[in-house]
Amino acid sequence: MKIQEGLYWYKERGVLDANTYVIKADITVIVDPGREKYLALLLEELQLDGIDPESIDSILITHLHPDHCDATAAFKDISGAKVALHSLQLEYLDVMIKEASRFLGISKSREFEADIVFDDALSLGNRELSILPTPGHSPDSICLYAADEKILLCGDLVFEKSIGRDDLPFGDGKELMRSINMMSALDVELLLPGHGAFISGKSNVRRNYEFIASYFQLL
């Protein structure tokens, strides 16, 4: 589904799947391709929006839990897209997928490697993304922030009236609190979480953080 010019959202399916996003730019990226069992449906939805998988240049992952990255190897095979990982994610690539899959009771994802490694920023040509490490839900979690457009892709950091779990392997509640505090200070008009609905409008984003602060006593 097209959210706005050059930005698309594909809703999660089932209990163990994640939202997928496509950012169209000079370099087009797909963020969190989800689980391989749902990949055929994702490909159909991309085609309905006029997005040829072969037009996607890179695969980005907000964190290495299988509901977000299980389809990475299969999507690369189909599209030819390069896998772009944050340097933090390289440290946890093998152990995180293995332990999270075991915890969630699903088979381990097909292995994949990084074709591109990035740190603080990622240029898509005519669009720029700041890369913000946000540990807590997992130590390799990152948020993608388009400051000019006031868009934050936040993975499993926060959702509509909820926050990411800290009980998965290597989760840390104190780190999660610090990460939420940091992200809540950003100027955001469109919050794109890893699960559930997106939140549009600066006032709605702010109210969501205020609810989280009150309900979870985190901020």
Strand partners, 9: 21
For 156-213, list the strands marked E by DSSP. 158-159, 162-163, 190-193, 199-200
Residue 191: what pLDDT? 98
Query: Do residues 142 and 60 lie in contact, with contact meaning Cβ atoms separated by under 8 Å?
Result: no
Residue 218: what pLDDT? 57
Give the HSE-up count for residue 167: Cα atoms under 13 Å, Cβ half-sphere: 2
pLDDT at 108 over 90: no
Residue 65: what pLDDT? 97
Pairwise CA distance, residues 211 & 203, whole Å: 12
- pTM for the structure as a whole: 0.96
- Relative orientation angle of helices 173-184 and 202-216, to the nearest 10 degrees: 150
How many other CB atoms sit within 10 Å of the CB of residue 54? 10
Residue 133: what pLDDT? 98
Residue 94: what pLDDT? 86
Q: Name residues whose C-beta falls within 8 Å of residue 46's C-beta, 6 or more positions apart in sequence.
A: 10, 22, 52, 53
% of the chain exceeding 70 in pLDDT: 99
Residue 219: what pLDDT? 47
pLDDT at 217 over 80: no
53-82 residue pLDDT tens: 999 999 999 999 999 999 999 999 999 999
Which domains does the chain show, CATH number per domain? Answer: 2-216 (3.60.15.10)
> Is the four-CA dihedral 115, 102, 10, 141 of positive or negative sign?
negative
For the chain, list the strands marked E by DSSP. 2-4, 7-10, 20-23, 29-31, 58-60, 82-86, 116-118, 121-123, 128-133, 142-146, 151-155, 158-159, 162-163, 190-193, 199-200
179-205 residue pLDDT tens: 999 999 999 999 999 999 999 999 999
| SS3 label, residue 181 | helix
| SS3 label, residue 108 | coil
Mean pLDDT (the chain, rounded):
96
Pairwise CA distance, residues 179 & 132, whole Å: 9
127-152 residue pLDDT tens: 999 999 999 999 999 999 999 999 99
Pairwise CA distance, residues 204 & 219, whole Å: 17
- Mark residue 99 as left, alpha or beta (left: phi above 0; alpha: psi -120 to 50; beta: remaining): alpha
